[in-house]
Amino acid sequence: MSKIFLSAASCFSDTNAFEKIAPQYNRTAVCLSDTPQTNAITWRKASPISTKTAIIKAESAHKKIDEVLYYFNEVSLAAAIKNLTAHDCMKLLEEECAGFQFLTLELLSRLASQNRSEEDRAKIIFLVRKNFSLIELYREGMDLALGSLPHVSAAAATFMAFSENIATMYEKKNVADFFLVLADCADETFKSDEELCKWLFQYLDEVDIKKKSGVQWIKAGSRASRFSLFSRS
């Protein structure tokens, strides 16, 4: 039976590759979008009510959600956001920070009420495609134009901190299995979202068999049988 793969991303276009590749790995992709799309469920990120409605629609249409991907693509956000104003900061906080948090909390609340067995637990994947920060580029003597503006870097850091701490908080509650994945912008292999999602689906399938899970950052490209951890220090 095909698994139901729910995806939400910082930019709707970032889910395109996952929707395209999912059927090759026995998955049915269900995408959330902050703008009306014929092939997606509308989700206004800054609204807790819209968040609840989107999750209910996904469950009603597909009965059960097997895997959920939260994809924070700092590279695409950095390319799209070129201004640092109070309005831009507020929009980023509401949509890319609070929005993902609303979605996670709503999903965890619904999963907790379902009392799934260990074999049937949902998998929640927090995926971050990191970009260079201005301070990293400055220290290396590189062009600052390649980096994220401060509020974009801050949003990425917020997403990562929330991901690892909510996973830690819920890991022992047997609500879901968590996977924290880092894709480095300097890694040529995974600059393509298609290559990234192929690796992710293969990884999740191997973990299914070997029953590997845990709260740790995994580098994109790692083998399920040998975790490659990412240190944030």
Q: Looking at the domain assignment, is residue 30 inside a domain?
A: yes
Domain count of the chain?
Answer: 1
Residue 7 belongs to a domain: yes
Classify residue 145: in a domain, yes or no: yes
Question: Is 227 domain-assigned?
Answer: no
Question: Which SS3 state, helix, strand or coil, does residue 82 take?
Answer: coil
DSSP string, 140-192: TT--GGGSBPHHHHHHHHHHHHHHHHHHHHHHTTTSEEEEEEEEETT-GGGSS
Does 86 reside within a domain? yes
Closest CA to 68 of 156, 148, 8, 23: 8
**Residue 157's CATH number:** 3.40.50.720
pLDDT interval class at 212 (50, 70, 90): low
Distance in angstroms (rounded) separating the CA atoms of residues 142 and 136: 8
Residue 151 in any domain: the answer is yes
Q: What is the pLDDT of residues 109-124, one digit of tens each?
A: 999 999 888 788 899 9
The dihedral sign for the CA sequence 109, 61, 121, 168: negative
Query: Residue 97's pLDDT band (boundaries 50, 70, 90)?
Result: very high
Please provide the average confidence, as pLDDT, over all residues in the chain: 88
Range of the domain at 127: 3-219
Evaluate whether residue 229 is within a structural domain: no
Q: Which of 69, 191, 82 is nearest to 144 (CA)?
A: 82
Which amino acid makes up residue 206? E
In a domain, 27, yes or no: yes
Phi and psi at residue 64, to the nearest 5°: -150, 140
The whole-number pLDDT of residue 46 equals 92
State the pLDDT at residue 54: 94
